[in-house]
Amino acid sequence: MVDKNEIIKKLSSGDMKLHEIEKFTSNVKESVDIRREYIETISAGSLDNVAHYSLDMEEAVKKNIENPVGTIQIPVGVAGPLKVQGEYAQGDFYVPLATSEGALVASVNRGCSLITRAGGVTTRIISDKMTRAPVIKAESVIKALEIKTWIEDNFHILKETAETTTSHGKLLKIDPILVVGSYLYPRFVYSTGDSMGMNMVTIATEKALDLLQKKTGAHVVALSGNVCVDKKPSALNMVEGRGKTLIAEIVIPAEMVKQKLKTTPQAVVEVNVAKNLVGSAIAGSMGFNAHYANMIGALFLATGQDEAHVVEGSMGITTAEEQNGDLYFAVTLPDVPLATFGGGTRLETARECLEIMDVYGAGKVQKFAEIVAATVLAGELSLLGALASGHLARAHKDLGRG
C-alpha cells in the first residue's frame, strides 16, 4: 500500500521528483491525487475544482500531459446554425467555442445568423501543408551552396527516405533553401492527412537529415531553425502558407446588413480599410484583421488543437467591398494547423466537441477546416458590424461585464 504522506515528505525534502511519483503508486489517478495534494501544501490555495475531471487520465499521460494534477474547465458555448457551402462542409452546423470572454459567442452567433439568412458562406481550402526547417552549418558559403545543390539534385532520394517513417506523410518539396553566410535553412514541406502532423514531419525530416549528413558531411545544428515557421507570426507563412490555407466569402444584401448589423455596406467597408488594412499597416501587424484569434482560440480549445498555433491562425486578411450596393465580405487565413485525429483530439471533451460538427476522426479534417473558416468570417463580420454601427462598447457592457 502506498504511503502518501511519505511520498509528499520526500517531495518536500527534494528526495523525490514530481515525475517519479508513478514509480511508487499503483495507478495514474493515485499519482495525480498525490501530486496535487503536494502542490496544495506549497501553495496558497486549494485545487478542489482542478481535482474534478472526467477525462481518462491513464490515456492522457501516455501522449498528452506530464506531471498531471487535474484539469481546468473553460465554459463551452455553441454558435449557430451556420450555413456553409464548402467543397467538404455543406449544410448547417453548430460550432462549439470554449472561452471566458463574455460577448464572444453572442457576437459569433449574430454573424452565423446573418450568414445563414443570406444563404450561406462559401469556403475553400487553397493549400494544405506542414513544414519543418532545420539549420545546417557548412564550412563556408561555397560548401553551403554545394549542399544546397545536392539537396535540389537528390530530392527524390530524400523524399523516399523521409517517407519510410510514416504511412500518412508525403514530402512535397524542400523550398525555400535559404543560405545565410555558412548556414543553410532548407524548408521541408509535407502533406500530413488528418493529423496536424508536426511530430510526423519532425521525425521524417530527421531521417532525411541522417542521409544528408552521410552524403555531404553537413553538420545539423538543430532540427528546427525557425524557418518552419512553427508557433510564431511570420511573413513567410503569410506568403507560402502553413497548415490549412483557407478562404471564406459571402455577399450580403444591403437590406440584411441594415436589419441585422444596424449599419450599411459602405460603413463596414470603411471600417475594414481604416482599421484592418491601414491601421494594421502602420502598426506593423501581420494580422490584417479584427480578431481572427478569438474564433481560432475558442475553436482550438474546444476541439483539442495545439493552442500555441493560435498565433499562426491569428494572421490573415479581411477584405470588404461594396458590390452593386451589397456587401462582399471575405476572410483569408494562410496558416491554420488543424487535426481531427491524434494529439489533443483524442481527449474525451475534444472528441465530443468535434462530433458536434461531425468532424472527428480520419477523413474529416478538410470538412473541419472549412467550418473553421466560416466561423472566423462570422465573428469577423459581426465585430466589424458592431464597430461600424457604434455598438461594440454597448455589447461588452451588456454581455462582457455581467
Give the CA radius of gyration of the chain.
Answer: 24
| Positions marked active-site | 101, 306, 396
Where are the alpha helices (H) located in 99-251, listed in sequence order? 104-117, 141-153, 155-162, 198-216, 235-240
Query: With contact defined as beta carbons under 8 Å apart, do 116 and 92 qualify?
Result: yes
Q: Give the cell for residue 33.
A: 491525487
Task: Tally DSSP H helices, then E strands, for the chain.
Answer: 16, 11
Rounded Cα distance, 333 and 182, in Å: 34
Kindly list the distances between the CA atom of residue 209 and the CA atoms of 166, 202, 220, 402, in Å, as whole numbers in the listed order: 15, 11, 8, 55
d(CA 337, CA 345): 13
CA distance 380 to 196: 25
Distance CA 186, CA 257 (A): 48
